[in-house]
Amino acid sequence: MRPPTERKSYWGEYLVALVICLVAQLVLAVAYGRLESRMEIGMRNRLESNLFGKLMRSKLDERNSMHSADLINRLEQDVPVVTGMLCREMPYVASGICQLLGAFFFLYSMEPYLAFIMVGLTPVAMVVSRIF
């Protein structure tokens, strides 16, 4: 008869892996925020510079159709909206579309009928959730 084998405990290794993952998540979140801010500020500065340069190079009679406060308002309010959409909203939309397509193909590989049922029911559920 063989002696019972002892089971090795891995809780220490799992704990180290968990700490490494948490630290990596924190570092990547900080790096992502910094990169996103730098990209948005750089794009905003370039767009404002280009618009201001075009306004200064335009003919005087073309500029008189708009009041100077309207031009400043456009530069101060519209540029941040456009850069925010391009730098923040568009990547989130693209990521969401990729995730939805991946989930659909994953469900389709397991059960095609279920994938098509989910695609059909999702818009209905969204409309019903808006009502209530």
For 77, the token pair is 């309010």
pLDDT 10s digits, 29-58: 999 999 989 998 999 899 888 888 877 777
- Predicted pLDDT of residue 65: 63
Residue whose structure tokens are 């818009």: 123
Whether the per-residue pLDDT at 63 is higher than 60: the answer is no
Whether the per-residue pLDDT at 76 is higher than 90: the answer is no
How far apart are the C-alpha atoms of 116 and 71, rounded to whole Å? 50
Burial class (CB in 10 A: 0-12, 13-18, 19+), 84: middle
Residue whose structure tokens are 């999702």: 122
Mark 48-59 as b/e (b = at least 16 C-beta within 10 Å). eeeeeeebeeee
* CB neighbourhood size of 107 (10 A): 17
Amino acid at 8: K
Chain-centroid distance, C-alpha 22: 21
0.85 exceeded by pTM: no
- In 3D space, the residue among 131, 127, 107 whose CA is nearest the CA of residue 118 turns out to be 107
Amino acid at 6: E
